[in-house]
Amino acid sequence: MNGDRATAIEITYAGVAGAVGGLVGIAGIYVGKWFSYSYVTQGARATFYFDGTEDWTGQVAFIAGLAAFAFGVAYVLLSDPQIRTLTGSLMGVGGIFLLAMAALAFTRVDEVIGPHPFLPGVEPGQSIRITTAAAGGLWMTVVAGMAAVYGSYLSIRRR
């Protein structure tokens, strides 16, 4: 070094929690699937899954997860106190929306599946029982939203 003071990135748990929460939330929307329905026909169970983006709640949650991730990374990389205050707050807004949209999606399972879902293997006139449910990715997104909100809480507490 030429005598200048070396600068190092200070890894903060607040920013890491927000960034990881946002990234895991996005993964839950696409990879984990949010909604499912199943039925039994000809002795076999058929199950179909839907991404979170099949509903407007998942689309908003995607944007919120992206915001929580981006502002969490910015919180880690930028060291100016005023910028950290802003990025910590925006990370919290993203985390709150991520959590709120995932929670709201639990009430929208039947709307996403619809009254007449695709039923391969079912004969016309055959009576079957369709079971709808929230899939694992929705729970994954809820936990991710809580992590992002917790990261924002840590950033506020740090000040």
Residue pLDDT, tens place only, 62-80: 999 999 999 999 999 988 8
Model confidence at 109: pLDDT above 60: yes
Query: How far does Cα 78 stand from its chain's mean position?
Result: 25
- Count CB-CB contacts under 10 A for residue 62: 20
Which residues are within 8 A (CB) of 153 and not within 5 positions of it... i.e. 6 or more apart?
Answer: 92
Amino acid symbol at 26:
I
% of the chain surpassing 90 pLDDT: 55
Separation between Cα atoms, residue 12 and residue 73, nearest integer Å: 10
d(CA 136, CA 73) in angstroms, rounded, equals 26
Task: Give exposure, 78-98, as e/b (b: 16+ Cβ within 10 Å).
Answer: eeeeeebeebbebbbbbbbbb
